[in-house]
Homo-oligomer: A and B are copies of this chain.
Amino acid sequence: MLKTVRYDGANLIILDQSRLPGEISFEICRTVEDVAEAIIRLKVRGAPLIGVTASYGLALGIIKYQGSVLDRDLYFQRIKNILASTRPTAVNLFWALQRMEDIYKQSGDLSTPELGRLLMSEAEQMFAEDIKINEAIGEYGQELLHKDSRVMTICNAGALATCGYGTALGVIRSAYQRGKIEQVWACETRPVLQGSRLTVWELLQDRIPVTLITDSMAGYTMKLGKVDAVITGADRIAANGDTANKIGTYTLAVLAHQHDIPFYVAAPLSTIDREIDNGDLIPIEERPAEEVRQIFGINATVPEVNVFNPAFDITPHDLIDAIITQQGIIKPPYLNRL
């Protein structure tokens, strides 16, 4: 699997996910602004990967910093704010930036090059940790699936959304290795098509059987008795278990409940926001109308039509049968267990 983000000793090299699967191309990010732009434009996406990429971005910013040590604190805050303001919903971004800031504050009187190396080393460590976390999520999560399961997922919570292996797709990978996956149902995930573009591509590379459907087909597929479980990733989990994830996730949870199909969320602990009581308090990003009006740059509708384009929705905790983390499976009631 291709590396989603890496530091080549001078710049960040980012796999441009907006062009997959038709084109495998890499974006060179030379500045913090380049990194922020790559996140905003969904060249880098997926809650865990956004967090790690922002950490690399902070380290890159300090490595390239030419100013005085005296002004460095202010500069650090400025580039941290640039990265923090890219996308509002996934909490991993703020968690990762906070972790980097803690390292920065504890670093003492380092020269800028020393500080740059320290922060880059922390980003590299977060990258390596993320893969191990996902493998642990996969290992725990596969226990929830029986032999020959047919699992539905939305968006891409895979190797491409993380530093490797994936969260929801990590569970699927781990289960597949044990002969527990008969079929993955990939919802295409309009408007940005992360399901058809990324999840299908990723699963076929690992020869995991996958069938693509439009988001509108999920209910009928469940009604036909063809789905044994739904597993999704998460962008932010409130203290009570309410979960923000890709728009359409809430609909899948309602449908799963209606059909007595278990609905699971797979996410690292860094996705849990204990400071937010419930899902109503999670900020939901609204993205440009053009994402809905156009597909691959072609007008799909009357260009001036009004559009509502929330990128995420909230699945209430009572529709979630388990939250799978690297430290184990959490079942309801979530409030104190999270």
CB-CB nearest in chain B for A219: B251
**Smallest CB-CB A-B distances: 6 pairs:** A216-B248, A219-B251, A220-B313, A196-B301, A190-B214, A215-B216
Instruction: Contact check, B212 vs A215: say whether CB atoms are below 8 A apart.
Output: no
A292 within 8 Å of B (CB atoms): yes
A221 to B292, CA, bound (A): 15
The listed residue with most B CB atoms (<10 A of its CB), out of A189, A221, A313, is A313
Which residues from B are CB-within-8-Å of A217?
247-248, 308-310, 313
A22: chain B residues at CB < 8 Å are 299
Q: Within 8 Å of chain B (Cβ to Cβ): is A218?
A: yes
Could you list 11 A-B pairs, sorted by A, with CB under 8 Å?
A187-B216, A196-B300, A197-B301, A201-B301, A212-B308, A216-B248, A220-B250, A220-B251, A295-B295, A295-B298, A296-B298
Q: Cβ of A212: which chain B residues have Cβ within 8 Å of it?
A: 292-293, 301, 305-308
A307 and B211 within 8 A (CB): yes
Identical copies in the complex: 2
A232 to chain B minimum Cβ distance, whole angstroms, is 12
With an 8 A cutoff between CB atoms, is A175 at the interface? no
How far, in Å, is A276 (CB) from chain B's closest CB? 18
A218 contacts across to B, CB distance below 8 A: 251
Taking the nearest CB of chain B, how far is it from the CB of A318, in angstroms?
12
CA distance A298 to B23 in the complex (A): 13
Chain B's closest residue to A191 (CB) is B214
A42 within 8 A of B: no
A295 nearest CB neighbor, chain B only: B295
Asked if A234 is at the interface of the complex by the 8 Å CB criterion, the answer is no
Q: In the complex, are the beta carbons of B247 and A201 less than 8 A apart?
A: no
A258 at interface by CB-CB < 8 Å: yes
A315 vs chain B, min Cβ distance (A): 9
Instruction: Give chain B residues whose Cβ lies under 8 Å from the Cβ of A139.
Output: none
Q: Which of A212-264 contact B (CB under 8 A)?
A: 212-221, 223, 247-248, 250-251, 254-255, 258
Q: Which of under 10, 10 to 19, 20 to 34, or 35 or more describes the interface residues of A?
A: 35 or more
Q: Mask for A277-318, Cβ within 8 A of B = 1, else 0?
A: 000000000000000110110111110111111100110000
Say whether A188 faces chain B, with CB atoms less than 8 Å apart: yes
Q: Report A216 CB to chain B, min CB distance, Å.
A: 3
Name A221's contact: one of B213, B304, B305, B308 (CB within 8 Å): B308
A187–B300 Cα distance when bound, in Å, is 12
- B contact residues around A314 at 8 Å (CB): 220, 223
> B215, B223, B302: which contacts A190 (Cβ < 8 A)?
B215
Determine if B306 and A211 form an interchain contact, defined as CB atoms under 8 angstroms apart: yes
Cβ-based interface call for A332 (8 A): no
Interface flags for A115-129 (1: CB within 8 Å of B; 0: not) read: 000000000000000
A21/B302 contact (C-beta < 8 A), A217-B247, A251-B216, A313-B219 known: yes
Compute how far the CA of A219 lies from the CA of B250 in the bound complex, rounded to whole angstroms. Answer: 7
Given known A296-B296, A308-B221, contact A200–B301 (CB-CB < 8 A): yes
The answer to the question of A210 belonging to the interface, with a C-beta cut-off of 8 Å to chain B, is yes
| Interface pair A211/B308, CB less than 8 Å apart | yes
